[in-house]
Structure 1
Amino acid sequence: MTTQTTAPDTPGARNADTPTGLLPLPEKAARALALGGSALTIVSTFLAWTWTADFPGDLTVYGYPGGLQVLVLIGALIATLFALASYGIRGLGRLAPAGPDAALKFATLATFATSWYTIIAISTELGGVVNLEPGGYLVAVSSLTALTGALALPFQRPQPDPADPDDTGWEKFRHTAAYKWETTKAVFAAGPPRPVPALPSYAEILIIVAVLALGLVVFTYGIGTEYDELFVGFLITAGFGFAALNKAGLIAHASQITSRHQNITICGAFAAAALFPFTQTNDQYATLGVYILIFATVALGLNIVVGLAGLLDLGYVAFLGVGAYAASLVSGSPSSPFHVHFPFWAAVLVGAAASLVFGVLIGAPTLRLRGDYLAIVTLGFGEIFRITANNLDGTSGPDITNGSNGVSSIPNLDVLGFDFGAQHDMGGFTIGRFANYFFLMLVITAIVVLVFRRSGNSRIGRAWVAIREDETAALAMGINGFRVKLIAFAVGASLAGLAGTVQAHVTYTVTPEQYLFAGPIPPNSAFLLAAVVLGGMGTISGPLIGAALLFLIPNKLQFLGNYQLFAFGLALILLMRFRPEGLIPNRRRQLEFHEDAEAPTLLTKAGA
């Protein structure tokens, strides 16, 4: 195969009659199919897909998309824009800084998958394809047509010549080495990738506002999906849509802009999150919001231990339990043997201090271990904590935690006369109990983010990164590895205890079963670690987004019953296969996982 010497997404870079995609179609015909199919898909969303309202979402209306039709419409609009950009239309090039062809493939795949999922669901639930209206048939054909055209577009990156199967081992080695050498020369010739030119500050701030507003809309829509089919369709559209935007280069472009305005981005993100309770009419989804914040805050604390210091902690949820138990025992619960009622600020200090002490006590004798040995010890600590809390019932041990019944009837917080258990009117909006705790957890999350940023950029933070990358080299450079790791363990434990104090008041009851290593519903140690890895280790926004996804998706997939964890695990496997560095990775990890994949792209740029 001949290596391309022009940018792969440039129209006219190849012979238009040469089929170089997955399907044997000329390039001009493929682009026409992708554009025409996407346009017809838009039209189909304004037609009825079924004749009866028995299928949720009321897909019987002409001229007004509803339910899953809205998701298909959004995907088709994105695909149409990328299809127009692939023609080189003036002004649309900014939609795909990295090239529109790969983005078009994922956008049409999102539309096709959501459309056909809806058609299959209608046929299954209503008893056959006879229940489809003309719009249903049209969307099935048009989305398939658009996907066919997109898949026939040329590949983005060149591939090496296949080795002759009759070659000897030495000839295969020489062939591979020669290709890698040519790739390396092209990479050095191309030089480092050029950053996106900076726009005026006001324009970049407006882009940040638009990105945050879009994030709030997507999250609010996802958490408020009214029926199961709509949430599954939302997952399909959002997943492939994110991949399309990433392939187009828009995610990287937005990341560069936000990195130039980090303080504005962080403040704007918290402002957008504060608007979430005002988008809800009751506490049904605000409940999920406050639990997501608790889970995300604990995941961010674990990110210090795992993401910055590189310590694999499999029992981290125990520190959340220590903080929750400590706060519940001094917050006026009738189940507490101490019979004291501290104010909230004192209970917070007690919970954080208790977790800090346990972090030091556990870390001091164990942090001289490394790797798997440390992971096994922390896993044991998590189980020891749960079993101990279960046995402190007055029978197997002193009566402190009330055994498996836990500490119950924990009263609502009352801070400066503000009762968190009562409804309050704010600007014409009624804010319920869980919304009150949502705002409180937002403040706690802001504190944790501040601690993470300041510690990560400090001298101790650089020492954590040095230990993570190569502990032997860090020790040789004079870093006290044990002390540095113990500080990371203590800081992470105290942040988990801080979140545990709020969790105790939100749930009313603290029991040992809430702090397992693994279970169907987070938070638990396995889900916390998955949130850090999935979101992006060593970053602030990564664990927050990862925790939100890992808490929201299992709650929304409960209709799958016994297949819930299977479907969820399969989705995680696919995601980590195609994006192992996480959703929001730092630059170092992104290069570690994709340095080989970036070489062919630079090769084409060098030859251009």
Structure 2
Amino acid sequence: MTTKTPTTDGTATAKADTAPATPLVPLPHAAARAITVAGSALALVGTFLAWTWTDEFPGNLTVTGYPGGLQVLTLVGAALTLLFALSGYGIRGLGWLTPGGTNSPVVLSALGVLGTTGYTMGAISQELGGLVNLEPGAWVSGIGSLVAVVGALGLPVDQPYDKDTGRPGPWGRFRHSLTAPEPGRAEELPSWAEILIIAAGFGAGLYVFAYGIGTEYSELFVGFLITAGFGFTAVTRAGLLKRLSALTAKHRNVTLAAAFVAAICFPFTQSNDQFALIGANILIFATVALGLNVVVGLAGLLDLGYVAFLGVGAYAAALVSGSPQSSIGVHFPFWAAVLTGALASLVFGVVIGAPTLRLRGDYLAIVTLGFGEIFRITMNNLNGNSGPDVTNGSNGIPNIPDLEIFGFNLGLPHNVLGHELTRSGNYYLLMLLFTAIVVLVFRRSAESRIGRAWVAIREDETAATAMGINGFRLKLLAFALGACLAGLAGTVQAHVSYSVTPEQYQFAGSVPPNSAFLLAAVILGGMGTISGPLIGAALLYLIPAKLQFMAEYQLLLFGAALMLLMRFRPEGLVADRRKQLEFHDTGQLDVPDDKPLPDGATGVAKAGA
């Protein structure tokens, strides 16, 4: 809150009504930090002791001196909490961990350790039949993590002052801890050092992503989500990600190269072909979401039937792929099949968009939703009975042969640098090439004159038209481009899955990609950005794939996640500056109200009302 205070010359100056928040646990600052350090160290030590007496619980937590399974996650979280807590002592070499200068990372990482350890203890008790199955190591880590949370809550954190209560409550403090600070100005580093930091950041991201996909049982994946969620938020709150973002913006070409190299390395980190297949499907889902981001994120067109364009590309490629069940009976080379799928989707985008894009808002959403359902029903009816025999109806087009590019058969494993690259790894690398093409197209489009016109139409189409922008033509261009990119990904999806069926292309279903999940990936990740839809699509595909026991409650959890996102992070996980200014306090003074100041002047202003 910011108010204007009168000065001797009659003017008003802005003054921030901020005050150090009273700790939730009344402890001296030094004692609170010491307790946090001791609790984190205790939780870390407990991971080297046995947590249960039997290996029936997955991960073999019976070994002393060698952490395994969920113990490793507790160890990592405890070590991170310990480092954040020690950085507050001003120890030389640790100050770089918290450039934001805040204790909130300590609170968040300590909560993550408590959540992971508590979940593990509860899972052991539930699966093995009671708390009696817990060995001393589990109790040591559990008590240590609880002590660390108590100490962390005793650390003072500056909060916006609340006029009603005089200090923020626990919920307000937790919400404030989720807001990334503005880190202090960093010292200039040599270019080679900055490039090494970027490479290390992407290397760490690759390791975390590969570890999450490689989790072999659901209990470990749930613990991974808890640790990664709180750890990522803590690192963001510390200001480290803002520092890294500044470096990536400075070295944009190096950043793109590092991201591409890290993505190439992924299939070489997976020994299980099933996990590599998840990575390939994530790239397909993410590429289609990025294409939808052109339509929704840049042009602001709400398309609820976008998955139909993916289906058009997949069906077109399947019909010309040489499948024995194809009604056309032709076998195009790969490049021709790709062009056929992309061109078919482009034509459908123009045909559907030309008569409908004069509509706006909810009306456009209803029409596109209808198109998605019409496509699925039409593919179902082209079975030789209800219509011409083109798509084999509900049976779809099966037995799609594997691709062969320059004599390289993607369906066979190949030895690359001493590592066997499986079929899924081959298609992952092919889809990565397509993703790079889509990213390049999106980036060039967004930074062009056409991209700026799309943003103007998204913000206010009437004003954009008054400024001379041909809204209909540009909206049709966005619609056609988005459809073409979806068709491009559909050609690879048809070969990865061996078959295409109408049920794969619904508005909502238990298995992505579908229109609802594609739209959610764009909104969750951040509309109008490149990395946002990629991250959103990865999360929305990976979580259902790893937690199949929650399939019955998937839509319920999906809706709850969207409501929480709209409440606490409406701009998405990765937001551009425009969205941040739109949804959050900018710190600028508002128009003064009519409350008089002591000298008779008016000028109470509120920040970011």
TM-score normalised by structure 1 residue count: 0.89
Identity within the alignment, %? 68
2:99/2:183 contact within 8 Å kept: no
Query: What does residue 100 of structure 1 align with?
Result: 102
Q: What is the CA deviation profile of residues 494-553 of structure 1, one whole-angstrom value per residue up to 9, with x for unaligned ones?
A: 000000011111111111000000011100001101111111111111111111111000
Does residue 216 of the first structure (1) align with residue 219 of the second (2)?
Answer: no
CA contact (8 A) 2:319 2:326 kept: yes
Match of 2:290 in 1: 300
| Cα distance in 1 between the residues matched to 2:374 and 2:39 | 59
Q: CA deviation at 1:196?
A: 4.8
Equivalent position amino acid for 1:574 in 2: L
Equivalent of 2:226 in 233, 236, 249? 236
Aligned AA (2:288): V
- Choose from 32, 35, 38 the match for 1:36: 38
Q: Whole-Å Cα distance in 1 between the matches of residues 364 and 418 of structure 2? A: 53
CA spacing shift, 1:193–1:543, aligned 2, 3 Å: same
Distance 1:598 1:58 in 2: 55
Cα distance change, pair 495–334 in 1 and its aligned pair in 2 (3 A): same
Rounded to whole Å, the distance in 2 between the matches of 1:261 and 1:140 is: 43
- The Cα shift of 1:157 comes to 1.6
Q: Residue 395 of structure 1 aligns to a residue in which SS?
A: coil
Post-superposition offset of 1:99: 2.1
Q: How does 1:570-585 map to 2 (within 5 A)?
A: 570-585=560-575
Distance 2:497 2:105 in 1: 43
Do the aligned partners of 2:303 and 2:368 also contact (CA within 8 Å) in 1? Answer: yes
Greater CA deviation, 192-201 or 150-159?
Answer: 192-201
**Counterparts in 2 of 1:521 and 1:500: CA distance versus 1, 3 Å:** same
Q: Corresponding residue for 2:83?
A: 81
Return the match for 2:341 from 346, 351, 361: 351
Structure 1: how far apart are the matches of 2:521 and 2:508? 13
Conservation of the 8 A alpha-carbon contact between 2:290 and 2:522: yes
| Residue of structure 2 in register with 1:468 after alignment | 458
Q: Which residue number corresponds to residue 188 of structure 1? A: none
Letter in 2 for 1:251: L
C-alpha distance in 1, partners of 2:497/2:160? 55
1:560 aligns with 2:550: yes
**Cα 1:362–1:197, aligned 2, differ >3 Å: closer, same or farther?**
farther
1:534 match: 524
Partner of 1:23: 25
C-alpha distance in 1, partners of 2:561/2:567? 10
2:361 aligned residue (371, 375, 379): 371
Give the letter for the 2:152 counterpart.
Answer: A
In structure 2, distance between residues paired with 1:351 and 1:512: 16
Question: Among residues 303, 312, 316, which one is paired with 2:302 in the alignment?
Answer: 312
What's the CA shift for 1:2? 13
Deviates more, 1:83-92 or 1:48-57: 83-92
What corresponds to 1:416 in structure 2? 406
Tell me the residue number matched to 2:490: 500
Distance 1:422 1:462, change over 3 A: same
Partner Cα separation in structure 1 for residue 529 and residue 185 of structure 2: 20
Asked if the contact 1:102/1:156 (under 8 Å) is kept, the reply is: no
Q: Is the 8 A contact 2:461 2:471 kept in 1?
A: yes
Trace 1:53-452 onto structure 2 (pairs within 5 A).
53-162=55-164, 196=186, 198-452=188-442
Matched, 1:453 2:443: yes
Superimposed CA distance per residue, residues 400-421 of structure 1 (whole angstroms, 9 cap, x where no aligned partner):
1111111111111111211111
CA distance in 2, matches of 1:597, 1:85: 29
Mapped to 1, the partners of 2:471 and 2:565 lie a distance apart of: 34
Change (3 A) 1:303 1:197: farther
Distance 2:123 2:165 in 1: 45
Contact 2:322 2:332 in 1 (8 A): yes
SS in 2 for 1:397: coil
What is the identity, as a one-letter code, of the residue corresponding to 1:331?
S
Runs of 4+ in 1 over 4 A off after TM superposition: 5-8, 192-198, 596-599
For 2:493 and 2:588, the matched residues in 1 are separated by 44
Alpha-carbon contact 2:100-2:184 (below 8 Å) kept = no
Moved more, 587-596 or 421-430: 587-596
Partner of 1:520: helix, strand, or coil? coil
Consecutive unaligned residues in structure 2, runs of 5 or more = 4-14, 167-181, 590-606
SS at match of 1:314: coil
> SS at the partner of 2:420?
strand
Contact 1:196 1:256 in 2 (8 A): no
Q: Is the 8 A contact 1:412 1:420 kept in 2?
A: yes
Residues 501, 562 of structure 1: CA spacing in aligned structure 2 closer, same or farther, 3 A cutoff? Answer: same
SS of 1:425's partner is strand
CA contact (8 A) 2:35 2:148 kept: yes
Looking at structure 2, the residues matched to 411 and 445 of structure 1 have their Cα atoms a distance apart, in angstroms, of 22
Deviation, structure 1 residue 372: 1.2
What CA deviation, in whole Å up to 9, does each residue of 1:237-281 have, x standing for no partner?
001111101111111111111111121111211111111111122
Any idea what the Cα deviations from partners look like across 1:47-66, whole Å, max 9, x if unmatched?
11111111111111111111
1:233 Cα deviation after fit: 0.1
Counterparts of 1:155 and 1:589, CA distance in 2: 27
The answer on whether the counterparts of 1:319 and 1:358 sit within 8 Å (CA) in structure 2 is: yes
Please state how far the C-alpha of 1:380 moved relative to its aligned partner: 0.7
The number of residues matched between the two structures is 565
**Contact 2:282 2:538 (C-alpha < 8 Å) held by counterparts:** yes
Distance 1:159 1:515, change over 3 A: same
Deviations 1:116-145, CA, capped at 9 Å, x for gaps? 111111111111111111111111111011
Deviations, residues 68-105 of structure 1 (Å, cap 9, x unaligned): 11101111111111111223333322111112311111
What secondary structure, in the 3-state scheme, does the structure 2 residue paired with 1:585 have?
coil
Q: Kindly tell me: are residues 2 and 377 of structure 1, through their superposed partners in 2, closer, same or farther at Cα, counting changes over 3 Å?
A: closer
The C-alpha deviation readout for 1:283-326, integer Å capped at 9, x for no partner, is 11111111111101101100111111111111000000000011
Question: Do 1:308 and 1:464's aligned partners in 2 also have CA atoms closer than 8 Å?
Answer: yes
Distance 1:198 1:319 in 2: 48
- Give the CA deviation at 1:575: 4.3
Deviation at 1:560, TM superposition (A): 2.8
Q: Is the 8 A contact 2:17 2:161 kept in 1?
A: no
> 1:338 deviation in Å?
1.2
For the Cα contact (< 8 Å) 2:102–2:157, is it kept in 1?
A: no
Instruction: Compute the displacement of 1:25 (Å).
Output: 2.7
User: Quick one: which amino acid aligns to residue 85 of structure 2?
Assistant: A
Q: Does 1:512 align with 2:496?
A: no
d(CA) in 1 for partners of 2:244 and 2:582? Answer: 21
Please tell me the residue identity of whatever aligns with 1:25. L
TM-score normalised by length of structure 2: 0.89
Contact 1:538 1:586 in 2 (8 A): yes
Residues 534 and 576, structure 1, Cα contact 8 Å, conserved in 2: no
Letter in 1 for 2:501: T
Change (3 A) 1:69 1:46: same
Offset of residue 193 of structure 1: 8.6
Residue 194 of structure 1, CA deviation: 7.1
